[in-house]
């Protein structure tokens, strides 16, 4: 009896995980952030500053949000890299810092962030991003 129950449970799990349409749907969105598009943010104490740019993206539906995948890439010089994009820098005076570019999303919305490890407030340059939605 236990074996029959186990087989039925496994069979129902297999059926419930199958998609009616076995093909994957894909949508690619190219975004450009001009230098003037960046806004500055901070924590509630006015510390830990970062820059952000918010996009309304209706293609991030509740279905894509709950069962799909959203990948964001930065496009620099003909090369794409998936976020987060983390680079370490040193200037001529020997100052060291790290810059992190990352993103988060919700239904209908995507926000890209730029944070400097030293929290230096300098508006980031224009940047290009590629958003890939799969469901």
* Mean pLDDT value across residues 33-42: 98
User: What domain range includes position 84?
Assistant: 23-134
Q: What is the pLDDT at residue 12?
A: 39
Contacts of 86 (CB under 8 A, 6+ apart): 98, 99, 100, 101
In a domain, 18, yes or no: no
Q: What is the pLDDT at residue 23?
A: 78
Q: Among candidates 53, 39, 51, 25, which has minimal Cα distance to 129?
A: 53
**CA dihedral (75, 25, 69, 106) positive or negative:** positive
Pseudo-torsion of CA 59, 60, 61, 63, nearest 10°?
A: 120
In a domain, 129, yes or no: yes
Q: What is the pLDDT of residues 79-124, one digit of tens each?
A: 999 999 999 999 999 999 999 999 999 999 999 999 999 998 999 9
CATH code: domain of residue 69: 2.60.40
Total count of domains within the chain:
1
Beta carbons within 10 angstroms of residue 88's beta carbon: 9
| pLDDT interval class at 64 (50, 70, 90) | very high
Q: What is the pLDDT of residues 7-24, one digit of tens each?
A: 444 443 333 333 445 578
With a cut of 80, say whether residue 1 has pLDDT above it: no
In a domain, 6, yes or no: no
In a domain, 78, yes or no: yes
In a domain, 69, yes or no: yes
pLDDT over 70, % of the chain: 84
Q: What is the pLDDT at residue 31?
A: 98
Averaged pLDDT score across all residues of the chain: 87
pTM here?
A: 0.80
């Amino acid at each position: 009896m236990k074996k029959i129950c186990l087989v039925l449970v496994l069979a129902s799990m297999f059926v419930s995980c199958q998609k009616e349409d076995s093909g994957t749907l894909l949508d690619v969105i190219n975004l450009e952030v001009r230098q003037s598009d960046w806004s500055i943010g901070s924590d509630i104490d006015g510390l830990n500053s970062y820059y952000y740019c918010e996009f309304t993206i209706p293609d991030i539906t509740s279905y894509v949000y709950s069962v799909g995948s959203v990948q964001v890439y930065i496009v620099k010089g003909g090369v794409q890299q998936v976020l987060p994009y983390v680079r370490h820098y040193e200037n001529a005076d020997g100052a060291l810092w790290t810059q992190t570019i990352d993103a988060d999303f919700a239904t209908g919305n995507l926000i890209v962030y730029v944070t400097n490890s030293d929290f230096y407030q300098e508006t980031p340059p224009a940047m290009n991003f590629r958003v890939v939605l799969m469901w």
